């Protein structure tokens, strides 16, 4: 009996250890990926703290979004390689320090660690909005700049913090591009006036989907377009038949969707099974290759996606985008797989432009300089983003996504027209499933 108990204890211990090992695999990933960064630091081992600018990058380097976190980080890394090869920022080298956070609790402890132990000058990120939201609170208490390049949730910049600048896209710019695209390219392609269009909005029920869905509804109503229904749904639901049945009521011309990947696949599969396909389907971030695997090119053909700037944008609109792809290939031996990498790269380049001018990491100086910036959309940065901050929220009002369409199994940028390479254009209405 005693032996049995001992054996059991050993097994339990082993089981828990293995579980902990895998839970902690994120930190292993982080430390292994920190090797180049440590090398960077050792290159500058003779340099004093005043000769480097330390930027903390908060991303989910472990857990279900580890891949996305790592890919987003690569954008920072490439921007840093570039600036350091160019002599740094006014002679100061830039060093990145990783912070692994998959949820709000980890974000708080990692941001604290980066500020107090690593003594970072600036923080940046993030693939996950929930991580950014929690992280900004700690950054605010410590008066460290939070330079947000990727997270989309509106509440990140609605906390009244003057140290949080979002240079990337937000719910406002996403909804604006969706509605502008409907007005400029979708309605003409359907041969209808915007006031004759009927739209249904379907979105996941949390703040991300709701804020975009509400803004789309407001802007469409202002245009005189009929919004038949706005339907929130649980992205973890096992069935979305009710959503589809509700959405098809009134026979809308356009379905607008904001959600995630797995619920997107389920929604479109359900629509396909029920045999309902409106003339236009426009989703947010529906350009994911996971959708291609789950639904196939035939089903996706013609579906529109409001998305992060894509790699096929014209060089005039997004100068440096081809060069970025080349550098990515050289460093990582593969093509870039996510647009988020380009967005963090572009956002980091804007930060470096400001740092060069202010020659300081002081939050107030950076904020003032950022507020003064007035860069038009297209023609300056590899994302095509312009820069004009909203003085209230410090959101970049010119960080516009693009509209892309699935054509023959590929994602093709089709709007704004300045971003379109060659003679690519929108193809509507959608054929049946």
Partner 1 sequence: MTQIILSGLLLGGIYSIVSYGLTLVFGVIRIINFAHGSLLMVGMFFAYYLTKTLNINVYLTLLIVVPCMFLFGYVIQKYLISHVLNEPIMQLFLTFGLLLLLENVALAITRGDYFSLNLNMSTVKIGDAVMDWARMIIFLASILIAVILMVFLHFTNIGIKIRAVSQNRYAAKLIGIKLERIYPLTFGLGCAVLGIASVLLVPVYTIFPHVGFSFVIVAFAVVVLGGLGSIPGVLVGGMIIGLLESLTGYLLSPDLKQLTWYIIFIAVLLFKPAGIFGVVGSEEVGLK
Residues binding partner 1 (CB under 8 A): 4, 8, 11-12, 15-16, 18-19, 22-23, 25, 63-68, 205, 231-234, 236-243, 245-246, 261-262, 265-266, 269, 272-275, 290, 293-296, 299
Q: How far is the CB of 21 from partner 1 (least distance, A)?
A: 8
Q: How far is the CB of 280 from partner 1 (least distance, A)?
A: 21
Q: How far is the CB of 266 from partner 1 (least distance, A)?
A: 7
Count CB atoms within 10 A of the CB of residue 151: 25
Residue 21, CB half-sphere, CA atoms under 13 Å: how many? 6
Q: Check residue 237 and report its DSSP letter.
A: -
Helices in 53-206 by DSSP H: which ranges?
66-85, 104-116, 129-141, 171-181, 187-190
Q: How far is the CB of 175 from partner 1 (least distance, A)?
A: 20
Q: Which residues contact 329 (CB under 8 A, 6 or more apart)?
A: 335
Q: How far is the CB of 174 from partner 1 (least distance, A)?
A: 21
Nearest to partner 1 of 18, 431 (CB atom): 18
Pair of tokens at residue 61: 């380097």
**Residues 270, 267: Cα–Cα separation, whole Å:** 5
Distances, alpha carbon 60 to alpha carbons 57, 102, 129, 247, in Å: 10, 5, 11, 34
Distances, alpha carbon 29 to alpha carbons 25, 98, 328, 359, in Å: 6, 11, 20, 33
Q: How far is the CB of 12 from partner 1 (least distance, A)?
A: 8
Q: How far is the CB of 157 from partner 1 (least distance, A)?
A: 25
Residue with tokens 């996706």: 300
Nearest to partner 1 of 137, 241 (CB atom): 241
Nearest to partner 1 of 140, 433 (CB atom): 433
Q: How far is the CB of 263 from partner 1 (least distance, A)?
A: 9
Burial environment of residue 325 by CB neighbours within 10 A (0 to 12, 13 to 18, 19 or more): middle
Q: How far is the CB of 271 from partner 1 (least distance, A)?
A: 11
Q: How far is the CB of 216 from partner 1 (least distance, A)?
A: 17
**Residues 185, 280: Cα–Cα separation, whole Å:** 12
DSSP per residue over 170-204, as a string? Answer: -HHHHHHHHHHHIIIIIHHHHT--GGG-EEEEEEE
**Residues 156, 159: Cα–Cα separation, whole Å:** 7
Residue with tokens 């971030």: 285
Per the CB < 8 A criterion, the answer to whether 386 and 277 are in contact is no
**Residues 343, 396: Cα–Cα separation, whole Å:** 13
**Residues 33, 99: Cα–Cα separation, whole Å:** 11
Residue with tokens 């309902």: 276
Rounded to 5 degrees, φ, ψ at 145 are: -65, 130
Q: Which of 160, 156, 188 is nearest to 170 (CA)?
A: 156
Q: How far is the CB of 299 from partner 1 (least distance, A)?
A: 7
Q: Check residue 375 and report its DSSP letter.
A: B
Nearest to partner 1 of 301, 421 (CB atom): 301
């Amino acid at each position: 009996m005693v032996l049995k108990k001992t054996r059991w204890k050993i097994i339990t211990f082993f089981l828990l250890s293995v579980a902990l090992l895998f839970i902690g695999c994120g930190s292993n990933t982080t430390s292994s990926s920190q090797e180049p960064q440590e090398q960077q630091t050792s290159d500058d081992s003779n340099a004093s703290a005043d000769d480097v600018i330390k930027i903390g990058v908060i991303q989910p380097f472990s857990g279900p979004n580890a891949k996305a976190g790592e890919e987003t980080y690569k954008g920072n890394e490439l921007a840093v390689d570039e600036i350091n090869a160019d002599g740094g920022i006014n002679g100061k080298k830039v060093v990145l320090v990783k912070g692994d956070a998959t949820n709000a609790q980890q974000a708080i402890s990692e941001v604290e660690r980066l500020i107090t132990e690593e003594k970072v000058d600036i923080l940046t990120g993030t693939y996950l909005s929930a991580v950014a939201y929690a992280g900004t609170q700690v950054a605010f208490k410590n008066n460290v700049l939070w330079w947000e390049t990727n997270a989309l949730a509106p509440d990140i910049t609605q906390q009244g913090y003057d140290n949080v600048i979002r240079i990337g896209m937000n719910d406002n710019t996403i909804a604006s591009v969706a509605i502008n695209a409907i007005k400029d390219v979708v309605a003409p392609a359907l041969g209808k006036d915007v006031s004759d269009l009927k739209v249904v909005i379907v979105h996941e029920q949390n703040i991300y989907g709701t804020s975009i869905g509400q803004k789309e509804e407001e802007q469409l109503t202002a245009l005189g377009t009929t919004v038949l229904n706005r339907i929130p749904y649980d992205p973890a639901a096992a069935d979305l038949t009710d959503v589809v049945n509700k959405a098809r009521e009134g026979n809308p011309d356009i379905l607008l969707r904001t959600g995630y990947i797995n619920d997107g696949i389920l929604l479109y599969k359900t629509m396909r099974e029920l045999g309902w396909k409106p003339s236009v389907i426009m989703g947010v971030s529906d350009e994911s290759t996971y959708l291609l695997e789950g639904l196939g090119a035939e089903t996706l053909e013609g579906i529109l996606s409001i998305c992060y700037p894509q790699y096929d944008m014209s060089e005039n609109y997004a100068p440096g985008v081809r060069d970025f792809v080349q550098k990515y290939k050289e460093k990582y031996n593969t093509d870039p797989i996510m647009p988020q990498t380009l967005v963090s790269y572009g956002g980091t380049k804007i930060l470096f432009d400001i740092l060069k001018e202010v020659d300081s990491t002081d939050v107030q100086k950076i904020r003032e300089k950022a507020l003064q910036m007035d860069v038009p959309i297209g023609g300056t940065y590899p994302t095509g983003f312009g820069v004009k901050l909203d003085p209230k929220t410090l959101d970049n009002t010119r960080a516009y996504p693009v509209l892309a369409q699935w054509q023959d199994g590929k994602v093709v940028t089709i709007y704004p027209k300045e971003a379109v390479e060659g003679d690519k254009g929108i193809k509507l209405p959608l054929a049946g499933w």
